[in-house]
Homo-oligomer: A and B are copies of this chain.
Amino acid sequence: MRRSNDDAASEPGGDLLPDAADHARQYASVRRAHETELIEDYVELIGDLLAAEGEARAVDIARRMGVRQATVTKMVGRLSELGLVKSLPYRSIFLTDQGQAVAERSRKRHVVVLQFLRAIGVSDATARIDAEGLEHHVSDETLEVMRRFIADLQ
């Protein structure tokens, strides 16, 4: 029944072990982000390819994601079931309205995170790599802080 030091959050420097329920919510939040992360990356990439090339082919998605075509086919099937994507066999992939919305939102967030990293002095190459992972774990509140930070620099 070991119950001793709790409320580590209130201790000076007690940044570890917050209240157990809150702690669990933190991890749950991360798990939730992981569920949508890949979906967002695929949809965002498809949107970028559509904007840049006019079409999004599985080969190109595979090359950019660094995965096999079979993996892309399977993922596109999932995106289709989720109503984010419209695709016919052996044809280019397109975004539904819902997919467009997701792509737009992801793209904006990605750009803010990338610009923020550069703004605080991270090199472009590193900023790009880090942004690709960080973007999915940035809350609206933090995103807004980043946006302000960038704006204040002008």
Contacts and interface: CB of A to CB of B under 8 A. Distances in A.
A126 B142 contact: yes
Interface in A113-137: 114-115, 117, 120-123, 125-130, 132-134, 136-137
A60 B125 CA distance: 40
A34 interface: yes
B122 A145 contact: yes
Contact of A122 (B22, B48, B115, B142): B142
A82 interface: no
Contact of A52 (B8, B27, B33, B111): B8
Interface of A: 2, 4-5, 8, 15-18, 20, 22-30, 33-34, 41, 48-49, 51-55, 57, 60, 63-67, 107, 110-111, 114-115, 117, 120-123, 125-130, 132-134, 136-139, 141-142, 145-146, 148-149
Given A5-B53, A15-B115, A27-B65, 15 more contacts: A16-B52, A18-B128, A20-B60, A22-B125, A23-B64, A24-B65, A29-B129, A29-B133, A30-B41, A30-B133, A33-B133, A121-B145, A123-B141, A130-B137, A134-B138
14 contacts: A4-B52, A15-B110, A18-B128, A20-B60, A24-B64, A24-B66, A25-B129, A26-B132, A29-B132, A120-B146, A121-B148, A126-B142, A130-B138, A134-B138
